[in-house]
Amino acid sequence: MEALALDRSPSQSPTSAAARRRPFVFFGGGGEERERRRGFICFWCCFGKDAMASPPTTDGLIDSVTKRKGSPCQQDDDSQDDKRIRSGVNLPEDIFWYIHSLMPLRDAARAACVSRSFLRSWRCYPYLFFCEEITRLDNSKFSDDTTRNLISKISHILHHHSGIGLKKLKLAFFGCTNVNFSCFDSWFHKAVTPGIEELTLILPRNSNAGYSFPCSVLSDGNGNSIRYLHLSCCAIRPTVDIGCLRTLTTVHLSSVRITGFELECFLSNSPALESLTVIDCKEIVQLKIPRLLKRLHTLDVNRCEMLKVIENYAPNVSTFHFSGQPVRMWGFLQVKDLGMSCLHQSRILCYALANLLSVAPNVENLGISSETEIVSTQTVSGKYLCLKHLHISLNRSSDFDYLSLVSFLDVSPLLETFILYISGMHMSQGHMGHAWTLGDSAELRQMPGHRHDNLKEFEVDGLCYAKSLFELTWHILETTSSLNRVKLDTACGYPRCSSDRCFPYYTDQIMEARNAVSAVKTYITGKVPPTVKFNLVQPCNRCLALVQ
């Protein structure tokens, strides 16, 4: 607990001016951390310098907690220090406790060293977030010793916590090595009590999911209040006697050892579930979503290598994101927002046209991402009659015919937005699509008979010097009367150059962007109607000067 007590070098006495000036230390954090920092501001506004006049006891928070007897939240006489803090104000103790709960963890612990009112509140502190950034006092890297020290600090804090009023517990061991799990079960049995709302356990990937989360802590009504559960790099083996988790709305499982049957058992006891995320769970072969999950609206399934089948019986899933090898799936007729990402599948676009159309025919927002697309798409029967927004992300490929993406426009008569993102490592000029030179527009292939009169926005992010890409752009301008915005961006997702500094592009990248801009000016600019807002993003003049 020394890391949560006041920093004090040997040369500083407890009553030194430096110690009085710097009793609290702030550090960065997310929205919740910023909210808790407001608690310190309230504390300062209420008590001013009087609150800082009394230094903490020199024996530290752990010793002071150890010496106290009786009920963890029992009120006792104020100490002399506590009286000095509360001089000039007359606030109920529950106000003090509320202010205390808004402080970040480290500041809350230090406040407990200053005041017995805060010390009593500390034993019921509702938000315990433990990670290396909070518990370390320096920027040293984690070693076995620092890991053991971190676990010791957590054990001390949880041992002296009453277990009353705890709402959120987060244990994040991102950079730790050789984590000893022997005390983890006792932590959860102490912390998971009626009233707990959020529970997070993130273990290092090198732990190989060696720890098994004790599902028993959620039984006997202890899990009735939990709303959020996040487990990473561990195992969980739920059984039918886990009990009903009637308030659980969000579950996030990442690199967790759990079978499809065990997950189905867990979900069957979570009737209020609204969002489910399953990432890199290698033991799941068949994922079955029970029918009783009527509130479930978001399902994310990513990189589950052994997964073969997804069966969804939940009636109201509207958002479904999938990443991995294509699998058999059904039960997604009601999905409106669909994302598909296949890292090692070279025919994902054909799969999206031929298979997804029957799986989710009512989708309104469709995102497709592929790293190794080498086969062009083809025209198929059927249409996405509700699709309005299409986002396709591809790695650069010398074999892909971008003009074939017209197939998606043909099967999407109501499409309004089409965004094409081209990423990946830079490829030398001459390998970016079919070889060609700037010349007469008659060289560009035409596709007469196609109309896309609902398309309003077209964007290419990562415009490269590929003939088929300009043929696609030409085709959209020729066959669309409803366009109001076209954006062609040569930056390939890289940061923009600022007024005084350029992003370090490779020379070949700048040359390719320059050639792409020349092609745009030759073939595209003159085809843009005056009613369309046209935006061409190109390298800055300083970058272009490097290749003149």
Tens of pLDDT along 373-393? Answer: 655 556 577 899 999 999 999
Q: Which 8-state DSSP code applies to residue 508?
A: H
Residue 46 lies in a domain: no
Residue 150 in contact with residue 130, Cβ under 8 Å? Answer: yes
Quote the pLDDT of residue 432. 41
- Of 108, 125, 142, the residue that ends a domain is 125
Non-local (6+) Cβ contacts of 508 within 8 A are: 426, 428, 429
Quote the pLDDT of residue 345. 64
Residue 543 lies in a domain: yes
Instruction: Supply the range of the domain harboring residue 110.
Output: 92-125
Residue 251 lies in a domain: no
DSSP SS3 for 5: coil
Tens of pLDDT along 488-522? Answer: 998 765 666 666 666 656 666 777 788 888 889 98
In the predicted model, is pLDDT for residue 84 greater than 50?
no
Residue 83 lies in a domain: no
- How far apart, in whole angstroms, are the C-alpha atoms of residue 350 and residue 455? 22
* Residue 136: half-sphere exposure toward Cβ, Cα within 13 Å: 16
Non-local (6+) Cβ contacts of 7 within 8 A are: 22, 25, 137
Quote the pLDDT of residue 525. 92
Tens of pLDDT along 92-127? Answer: 777 767 787 788 877 888 887 877 777 877 888 888
E-state strands within 42-184? 127-130, 168-172
> Which tokens hold the place of 400?
């892909």
Residue 423 in contact with residue 397, Cβ under 8 Å? Answer: no
Distance of alpha carbon 473 from its chain centroid, rounded?
A: 34
Residue 487 lies in a domain: yes
Q: What average pLDDT does this structure show over 125-147? A: 69
Residue 114 lies in a domain: yes
- The domain tally of the chain equals 2
Residue 299 lies in a domain: no
- How far apart, in whole angstroms, are the C-alpha atoms of residue 323 and residue 280? 10
Residue 417 in contact with residue 367, Cβ under 8 Å? Answer: no
Alpha-carbon Rg for the chain, nearest whole angstrom, is: 30
- How far apart, in whole angstroms, are the C-alpha atoms of residue 388 and residue 368? 14
Non-local (6+) Cβ contacts of 272 within 8 A are: 245, 246, 247, 248, 249, 295
Residue 116 lies in a domain: yes
Quote the pLDDT of residue 425. 47
